[in-house]
Chain A
């Protein structure tokens, strides 16, 4: 049996194929369609063609997505922040942004930092991460900005500026040396193209009171920013000895957080603090992080990933 253009069910089948590929067809109809395409060469071909088109678009999604140029972003910022209205915080220049954020989150900070400890990370390492080892990000006298907000703001700023990477390359031998001389540490850089998350490049950003390396990965239609900087002693200690001991492949799950539809994941590995942020679906970001953790050395003198945690 073959559907043709003139057969009455053909148009209906095409709609079903569309919904099927988009995961919008109910289970009964999906099973029925799968059975049908087994016997109908025309519908099978239509299904394969639509699927191939979808794959081609998704493979090129990064280039098909329009992003505002820096000039456009600046003009939008001015339009939205201008007049009597107060400035839009995440479109503002960093210094102003941090101050207004600090004020905005005065109340939230206390409630959040008491109530929302990262699972698997001792309280001491989290507080020292934002206060002691790294200089406080906010102006003197202002309360410290939660690092999740800083990272989310930084990620959004890079996206909006249409400038997610300063060095655009999928070659880690290009990206890694680019950071040399710009920051006082050498971030591990790995490409995850084989695992489905191509490296797009890197950029410098300013987080937790210091310049930090940011790696940019393509995650389907979306971008993910991965922030990396040297962990302070408390976090490394916690990672080595505590619940978050396994910094290697089989490590403790990264601490997850969700802010305004964006997912953030944090973990410590190779004596570095890592943050991943994206608006991709939570399971996709978790997958990216899992692949990244597998690809990264467990510590600077890399033992095999399955080695037992240090005492």
Chain B
């Protein structure tokens, strides 16, 4: 009983400060407030149950990995997989299509445009963007959360940013339509 209390307190001290990050990731993955809440709740209860198995290291990466797994296992159970398979694994040309420099347009993207563009990304790209750009995780922690090699983190980020740039330009950021 005492051991249980100690474990609980260690959990509260090390894991719960990252609940905000957990909610943010769940919400971006699930793209729905109710579903995100369910994911965070299930993930936290799982984290509490398996906390004995936490070997130290980044508690944030550990909790976010559980959030991510909870989301994907929920998806599999529902067999409600979004059409994620339809994306292009090839890295595009580094050349932009011409016209004004993209940088000037992209710099003026507003939060609504950015939110829509990120939300439209396939989940494998969305998660690395959220972890890197919003949570500020280093590649090593993103690799731990997503269970992929660091090289894959890098290529997914490159692809994700390319998608975002194309999408934002197509949305007419910076007050312009192509």
Contact = CB atoms under 8 A, between A and B. Distances in A.
B103 A65 contact: no
- A56, A85, A159: most-surrounded residue (chain B CB, <10 A): A56
Contact of B37 (A3, A17, A50, A68): A68
Contacts of B114: 56-57, 60, 64
A67 interface: yes
Contact of A52 (B91, B107, B135, B155): B107
A53 to B, nearest CB: 5
Interface stretch (A6-14, A121-129, A179-187, A204-212): A6-14
B14 A160 contact: no
Interface string A259-284: 01110000000000000000100000
Interface in B83-118: 90-96, 101-111, 114-115, 118
A198 interface: no
B144 interface: no
B165 A53 contact: yes
B94 A43 contact: yes
Interface in B29-75: 33, 36-37, 40-41, 44-45, 48, 60
B147 interface: no
Contacts of B23: 66-68, 72
A186 B133 CA distance: 37
Contacts of A22: 132, 139, 157
B8 interface: yes
Interface residues of B, number: 62
Query: How many of chain A's residues touch chain B, expressed as a range?
Result: 35 or more
A61 B134 contact: yes
Contacts of A13: 94
B168 interface: yes
Contact of A76 (B44, B92, B161): B44
Nearest to B93: A5
Q: Interface residues of A: mostly helix, strand, loop or mixed?
A: helix
A159 B102 contact: no
A4 B12 contact: no
A65 B134 contact: yes
Contacts of B95: 2-5, 42, 45-46
A18 B103 CA distance: 15
Nearest to A80: B44
Given A64-B134, A67-B23, A52 B41 contact: no
Contacts of B60: 261
What are the 10 A-B residue pairs with the smallest beta carbon separation, nearest first?
A5-B93, A66-B27, A52-B103, A48-B103, A60-B111, A11-B91, A63-B111, A52-B106, A18-B158, A49-B102
